[in-house]
Chains A and B, each alone.
Chain A
């Protein structure tokens, strides 16, 4: 199966991030091309989540520049990332536990809702039409993620694996061009992981969404990603297709340790 990638959509150049005296990221450069699945891996504390937060605009690197769709990014806030078509999920699930699956996914469409609060409160006119249109989109996502049976169940009652799926659903509801997944498979059993892999591949295939993901399960990473970046102590030690990375000496020693 030949996979086709587009232009570079996100280019990170010489990024360095410090928290006081702690160097979280040092001089990291890599890029993400359209439609690809890009994995960021590395041992604990390597700076993976920091990297994702830099992309998302939560952290502002002290050095280096970020080009998104060819434009240099100025200082920005996370919600600006959302308007640019970047959605994400979190390492620790961040859903509204008391709300139903349907409502949780609906919140993902918040940015696209235009009617004013009065109309919404009365559920009248444009607000009603808008709600129906959004609901249609949400139902498509529910169908896509095969969670019809829990549509109206409060999220807090669902097993962990399903909650992760709902979180993916909420990210998808924003119809993102780029999806950031922070350990989408952490804490799952084999079957749930397989399901999640299938959904990630389907999202990538069907919607053409570019995906940047952090993952610990090497099997998963090697199977589904097109290119992999390896971080260790805030430095980039490898970058390339899975086979290259697998055979990279530095990567092997970072993961397995070497005798110095």
Chain B
């Protein structure tokens, strides 16, 4: 594919990287907090590090087309390994670092991995554990040598040692790596990203340099990103979102990525860096807001009053100011005062003072949540995309933000709707193929070259795309009305007390739901009322908590009743689950999406109880603890009825 901007020489990531090392050698490319201090690596240093890793890998026998597994937290040298692999014409395959060994074995087998670069002892142990099942694995290279001194396995090697080896090789044969970089082509596969496997086994999505570069370039133009942006890289490297924002866009625009010290310090690191460009899934924004609200509730009466007054002002005019719409003089003055007293300090606490553009994606974001961030002056926008499209299909343009849409088709992207409402996409960012799965590739790309997203949606009058649900999840109740479980679940999850929800109703006569309470929010709520509880299971079954949740469910029913399409989907009965749905137990995917089929099998007893009209149900559930041991949680769950509302939308619809 030829390049639209005429820079045909810069059509692969390694060439772009070497270009930055030439034109802006001294600008920061990466920062990492280590020993309490931010360390900066310039583009020249990063390029040197990449060269050393690449030459080292080549000396170990890494060949063009080989796959390199990369497993660990966001560390600069792991990002360097991605680029190093691409220099050699190899394909990096990032794995979710918190996956258990057995889950990794599948990907390593599927991708026939010979080489792996991993972060630390934890990941090395996993590699050694599954080595018998993945015979191709020859070399495991580790970044952090801590605790590995006593390991004698010959397949292990320190990344430092590999780089030393590579530097010597690079000096003696200076032309080797440049020649390898020269062999790369725009339509070579640049990365393989595994889909999370909401359905069936994970599939490797092969994306080319051209695809990711055009997705990145489109976004860079769209939001006018420059080399001066700072971004915090804290989301799993295996996720398409991180690869687009922290790797592809950073290398295309030449901006700086910042790696946090550890998973637990992200909040502090965010404050210290103050990124100008930020990307987070809705649950992160939600978590931040919950924390703010909990702390506000514990604050003194005067502060609370001040906060609520100015939040009301912000709700009234904040978003309009951000969009450049006309706002009365009085409100402008009030907002400016609020900015001084509340919004400014609040943004500072959240680490969002410098943000120019923030995106959220991956799941629906609650309208209240979205409005909150926009009203305090953070330019939070939504985007829509999937692994197969480099997470790049629709973007919300500045000044044209609608809460319930995902924006307009992005530059270079063509979007159309199939007859059944399914969203079809075409453009340079489409996947090349699913790895070793021509059947799946053929199934997902139709004869006209459109990728079938599997999402159902429609365009509104301004050409903004609105997503309803997964096309295949959309079912029917026995009376023939539409049932869109995700749509209902998202409405439930927008309440801060509800962490997760699963709705049932396809081919049934009514809609019912499982609810997962949010331990932090509900726990705090219970504490303030002086209610004693001994743990999650106990808290979940308190009658007062049931009342709290029933209140939320009723509000959702009222909203559903207002929509003619959805009024039949009002929730009749619900129960609060005794344990949190967890990816370790296989109930959620690693990206925290509900695994519907698995849950309906595992909790079949509960579903039956919901539909048979029982008042309570005993259940025992096996659980896996983080250290791999297994145990059991048993509880008797109460089942409650909820008020429903007469469909209000009918008159307008008729």
Chain B 329-351, CB-CB to A under 8 Å as 1, else 0, gives 00000000000000000000000
Query: A residues touching B (Cβ–Cβ < 8 Å)?
Result: 1, 135-136, 139-140, 142-144, 146, 148-149, 151, 190-191, 194, 198, 202, 205-206
Residue pairs across A and B with Cβ atoms less than 8 A apart, 29 shown, are: A1-B150, A136-B35, A139-B35, A139-B37, A140-B35, A142-B35, A142-B36, A143-B35, A146-B262, A148-B36, A148-B261, A148-B262, A148-B264, A148-B265, A149-B261, A149-B262, A149-B264, A151-B36, A190-B627, A191-B626, A191-B627, A194-B627, A198-B147, A202-B146, A205-B147, A205-B150, A206-B146, A206-B147, A206-B149
B34 interface contact, C-beta 8 A: yes
Q: Which 5 A-B pairs have the closest CB atoms?
A: A149-B264, A139-B35, A139-B36, A149-B265, A148-B261
Question: Closest CB-CB distance, A6 to chain B, in whole Å?
Answer: 17
B268 interface contact, C-beta 8 A: yes
For B265, what are the chain A residues with a Cβ–Cβ distance below 8 Å?
Answer: 148-149
User: Contact at A149–B268, with CB atoms within 8 Å?
Assistant: yes
CB closest chain-A residue, reference B261: A148
For A194, what are the chain B residues with a Cβ–Cβ distance below 8 Å?
Answer: 627
For A149, what are the chain B residues with a Cβ–Cβ distance below 8 Å?
Answer: 261-262, 264-265, 268
For A136, what are the chain B residues with a Cβ–Cβ distance below 8 Å?
Answer: 35
User: Contact at A205–B149, with CB atoms within 8 Å?
Assistant: yes
Interface secondary structure of A, over-half rule = helix
* Chain B interface size range: 10 to 19
Question: Closest CB-CB distance, B39 to chain A, in whole Å?
Answer: 12
Task: From the candidates B36, B147, B264, name the one contacting A202 in the complex (CB within 8 A).
Answer: B147
Chain B 237-273, CB-CB to A under 8 Å as 1, else 0, gives 0000000000000000000000001101100100000
For B627, what are the chain A residues with a Cβ–Cβ distance below 8 Å?
Answer: 190-191, 194
Question: Closest CB-CB distance, B260 to chain A, in whole Å?
Answer: 9
For B262, what are the chain A residues with a Cβ–Cβ distance below 8 Å?
Answer: 146, 148-149
For B626, what are the chain A residues with a Cβ–Cβ distance below 8 Å?
Answer: 191
Docked CA distance A143–B146 (Å): 11
Question: Closest CB-CB distance, B267 to chain A, in whole Å?
Answer: 9
Known interface pairs A139-B37, A142-B35; 4 further A-B residue pairs with C-beta atoms within 8 A, sorted by A's residue number: A149-B262, A191-B625, A206-B146, A206-B149
Chain B 31-57, CB-CB to A under 8 Å as 1, else 0, gives 000111100000000000000000000
CB closest chain-B residue, reference A138: B36
Q: Name B615-638 residues within 8 Å CB distance of A.
A: 625-627
For A142, what are the chain B residues with a Cβ–Cβ distance below 8 Å?
Answer: 35-36
Question: Closest CB-CB distance, A179 to chain B, in whole Å?
Answer: 18
Docked CA distance A136–B36 (Å): 9
Of A143, A146, A191, A206, the most chain B CB neighbours within 10 A belong to A143
Question: Closest CB-CB distance, B142 to chain A, in whole Å?
Answer: 15
For A191, what are the chain B residues with a Cβ–Cβ distance below 8 Å?
Answer: 625-627
For B268, what are the chain A residues with a Cβ–Cβ distance below 8 Å?
Answer: 149
Question: Closest CB-CB distance, A153 to chain B, in whole Å?
Answer: 10
Chain B 134-157, CB-CB to A under 8 Å as 1, else 0, gives 000000000000110110000000
Question: Closest CB-CB distance, B119 to chain A, in whole Å?
Answer: 13
CB closest chain-A residue, reference B33: A148
Question: Closest CB-CB distance, B34 to chain A, in whole Å?
Answer: 7
Question: Closest CB-CB distance, A103 to chain B, in whole Å?
Answer: 13
For A1, what are the chain B residues with a Cβ–Cβ distance below 8 Å?
Answer: 150
Chain B 282-324, CB-CB to A under 8 Å as 1, else 0, gives 0000000000000000000000000000000000000000000
